[in-house]
Amino acid sequence: MFQKNKQSFSQDEARIYSRSEHHIQTDDIHKNAIKVLTRLVEAGYEAYLVGGGVRDLLLGKHPKDFDVSTNATPEEVKKLFRNCRLIGRRFRLAHIYFHGSTIEVSTFRAAPNEHLESGMIRRDNVFGSIHDDAFRRDLTINALYYDIKHESIIDFTGGMEDLDNGIARIIGDPEKRFYEDPVRMLRVVRFAAKLDLEIEANTQAALYELGYLLDPISPSRLFDEVLKLFHGGAAEETFEQLCRYNLLKEILPLTNESLINNEARIMSLIRPGLQDTDKRVRSGKTIAIPFLFALLLWHAVKIQQKNMRDESMSHTQSFVIACREVLKAQVRRTTIPRQLQFAIREIWLIQQQLEKRRPKRIYSTLKRPRFRAGFDLLALRARSGENVDELVNWWADVQQASDQERHGMVKSLYKPRK
């Protein structure tokens, strides 16, 4: 299908940055990525490090993933690597497994030949040249190719210049590219926030206008994108940009709705929570997905409860139903696995236990699996101005108390009999 041992582009098509014009060194690249690149090149194929790995190395970061792009077909890649497995239906990929890491290898893609009437891509499994592949990528900064043979960087789209200038720019016409795949809008916001980039003017204009294109995207795909949005170490800035470009309503409609009339109050809860999330990511700690959703949807629960209460329904009953209804509404937009739904609901329900401080339930509350997440949400509520400071202090103290001290604290909660 392809000619071997020959570059599939001319010098006029791409700007090639020689070894002296960039600071990437082969030693910076994971040894397993080197193995894959070397074997493909020695077998006569074109093979390049591509995407986020190249971008992050140029930014002086340590990439988590190293992806390879080649003119070898998936089947040809599989013949070269016994530790290879082919995955995917929309576009076939080769995963090459090593102890402790996986290198993803994709075949150069060309423009898709099938679209829906809306402009969205129906079929994307079309092979092409490296030139085709570069222009099928989303952002210029993600379309840089590192040539291990010559230690050079190949740039078809101006990505090096945009990276130097701190610009996030969609390749091609932003409107057309967003129609092809609306999720690209979320990717632009994510990378701009994560890498502290300014979104290019034409890309910005399309973001403002085309958020509605996300409506037909499957809830399962949107769930995956939400996780990526808030787990990159820039959750606070990501949230701000989602609000700025009117994209929040497409993925967290109830959160967006709750912000309309109470923005200052609600942001005083959400912003510190997202700041804490970013600190955890930067320190290498894991992020609790249930806590993230519990935080972002907390005010939606309170609003739902307020709207549905009547004299025949207790506070607890209305709260439980509100939790259920908010989750049901969110799941229609972003699939949330059932186990995570239980955990989110648990964090919310713990708020009532923390507020009531019933003596007989103190010990069981402390033992609940999501107690710590529930306490963290209570603490954020206090920081946002809710009148729960005394509760936060009490629960903080009871966690640190000795058995004897804890017994005394619980005993003091009993009301004396008249």
| Residue 15 belongs to domain with CATH number | 3.30.460.10
CB 93 within 8 A of CB 86: yes
Query: What three-state secondary structure class fits 161?
Result: helix
Going by pLDDT thresholds of 50, 70 and 90, the confidence category of residue 12 is low
> What percentage of the chain has pLDDT greater than the value 70?
93
Q: What pLDDT, on the 0 to 100 scale, is given for residue 308?
A: 81
Residues 88-107 have a mean pLDDT of 92
CB 412 within 8 A of CB 362: no
What is the Cα–Cα distance from 296 to 70, expressed in whole angstroms? 41
**Whether residues 271 and 397 fall in one domain:** yes
Q: What pLDDT, on the 0 to 100 scale, is given for residue 113?
A: 59
**Whether residues 133 and 253 fall in one domain:** no
**Whether residues 234 and 334 fall in one domain:** yes
Active-site annotation holder among 133, 138, 162, 276: 138
Catalytic (active site) residue 56: no
| Alpha carbon distances (Å) from 370 to 60, 136, 142, 304, 315 | 38, 44, 39, 23, 22
**Whether residues 54 and 182 fall in one domain:** no
Q: Which of 106-115, 330-339, 400-409 has the lowest mean pLDDT?
A: 106-115
CB 115 within 8 A of CB 121: yes
**Whether residues 189 and 160 fall in one domain:** no
Going by pLDDT thresholds of 50, 70 and 90, the confidence category of residue 5 is very low
> What percentage of the chain has pLDDT greater than the value 90?
84
Q: Which of 10-14, 213-217, 262-266 has the lowest mean pLDDT?
A: 10-14
Q: What pLDDT, on the 0 to 100 scale, is given for residue 89?
A: 79
Q: Which of 182-186, 232-236, 261-265, 277-281 has the lowest mean pLDDT?
A: 261-265
Catalytic (active site) residue 65: yes
What is the Cα–Cα distance from 142 to 53, expressed in whole angstroms? 9
418 in a domain, yes or no? no
Kindly state the tokens that stand for 86: 């082919």
How many residues are given for the chain? 418
Q: What pLDDT, on the 0 to 100 scale, is given for residue 119?
A: 53
Amino acid at 141: I
100 exposure class (CB count in 10 Å sphere: 0-12, 13-18, 19+): exposed
**Whether residues 103 and 46 fall in one domain:** yes
| Residue 283 belongs to domain with CATH number | 1.10.3090.10
pTM: 0.89
**Whether residues 366 and 334 fall in one domain:** yes
Query: What three-state secondary structure class fits 358?
Result: coil
**Whether residues 387 and 305 fall in one domain:** yes
Kindly state the tokens that stand for 418: 């008249």
In eight-state DSSP terms, residue 334 is S
Active-site annotation holder among 12, 27, 56, 67: 67
Going by pLDDT thresholds of 50, 70 and 90, the confidence category of residue 311 is low
Q: Does 2 have pLDDT greater than 50?
A: no
Count the domains in the chain: 3
Catalytic (active site) residue 138: yes
Active-site annotation holder among 65, 124, 132, 181: 65
Going by pLDDT thresholds of 50, 70 and 90, the confidence category of residue 23 is very high
Q: Could you read off the pLDDT of 28-56 as tens digits, one per residue?
A: 999 999 999 999 999 999 999 999 999 99
**Whether residues 271 and 348 fall in one domain:** yes
Domain that holds residue 233: 219-413
